[in-house]
Amino acid sequence: MPSEAVLALHDYQKSYFDFAEFKPEIPSLLHQGSLVADSLAVIQRLGMIEPLTGAYVPPGSIDLSCTNYREGFIANGLLSRNRAVLKVLERTYGSVETLAQQQIYLVEAIGGFASWMRRHIGEQGLVCSEFLDGSEILVSDIPHQDLCKLSFASQAFDLVLCHELFEHVRDIDQAFSEIHRVLNAEGRLIATCPLAIGQKDSIVKARLNQETGKPDVIGEPEHHGDPVRPSQGSLVYRIPGWEILGQLKRAGFKNTTIHHVCSWRHGILGSDIPGVLVIEAQR
């Protein structure tokens, strides 16, 4: 029988509107990270329920080979952080059918989440793209978009979904302004990215040189895996801190939130802390 503490994480979500709210809870959350192993044991015995679709995934269909459970824990092609986004979408839209009625811009076209969206949402209301400058693979059938200079008309979308990209954007304020521009009056952004969870300020690793148009790297360059640039990866410009909520507000968003989502029932676990932090901003 799982402990009371593990049972409390069967389907947990809490929302924070600024760092001052979150900061006092950090020690407790770090301590709860020790519950991940017990939560995994429950999943390995019972399986999990995919958020939004309600599909049951048996234990034998779950890949737990990666011990960074935020980035691993693969089921139906989705990672733990992907399912955290689905959980936030479930709370907002209620069902796959309602989500499919939205005009959606997904800022990726390759990978498990993009495939899941095409399979469940369809192509009619879904636009996918990649940033193809410096691409190492032939991708003639994938649209190119620069998040700092989107080609879409203003107020074109109900929803923008962005996974693990903000750390790579050369001008984060311009990107947020562009996302705000292409969302309609009721639109929202839902996103994940690596977060410096224990501080307000972002950790700056590179800055765009306006004269040369190239990045000035601070310290050793850091690259993350990128399916479009498999050998080189994508340069990290920053690890956003909680100031990201203020940056979104300066871009015009009225309501900005970071949700902490954790659920062994839905296959959402983390690494340092249990669960995943999901950013939401409403226009």
For 46-58, what is each residue's pLDDT tens digit? 999 999 999 999 9
Q: Residue 163: which region, alpha, beta or left (left: phi > 0; alpha: psi -120 to 50)?
A: beta
Q: How far apart are CA 225 and CA 38, in angstroms?
A: 29
User: In this predicted structure, what is the pLDDT of residue 181?
Assistant: 98
> What is the value of pTM for the model shown?
0.96
How many structural domains comprise the chain? 1
In the chain, % of residues over pLDDT 70? 100
- 182-229 tens-digit pLDDT: 999 999 999 999 999 999 999 999 999 988 989 999 999 999 999 989
Q: How far apart are CA 50 and CA 268, in angstroms?
A: 10
Residue 88: give the domain boundaries: 4-282
In the chain, % of residues over pLDDT 90? 80
Positive/negative CA dihedral, 151, 155, 158, 159: positive
Residue 160: both structure tokens together: 């923008």
% helix, strand, coil for the chain, step of 5: 30, 25, 45
- 16-37 tens-digit pLDDT: 999 999 999 999 988 887 888 8
Are the C-beta atoms of 138 and 160 separated by less than 8 Å? no
- 118-173 tens-digit pLDDT: 999 998 899 999 999 888 887 778 999 999 999 999 999 999 999 999 999 999 99
Are the C-beta atoms of 184 and 155 separated by less than 8 Å? yes
Q: Could you tell me the end-to-end alpha-carbon distance of the chain, in angstroms, rounded to an integer? A: 44
For 11, 69, 70, 86, 270, the CA distances from 66, given in Å and listed in that order, are 22, 7, 9, 21, 12
- Region 69-95 average pLDDT: 95
CB count, 10 Å around CB of 13? 16
Q: How far apart are CA 247 and CA 56, in angstroms?
A: 38
Task: Please report which confidence band the pLDDT of residue 1 belongs to, taking 50, 70 and 90 as the band edges.
Answer: low
Are the C-beta atoms of 256 and 17 separated by less than 8 Å? yes
| Cα-trace Rg, the chain | 19
Residue 255 sits in a domain of what CATH number? Answer: 3.40.50.150
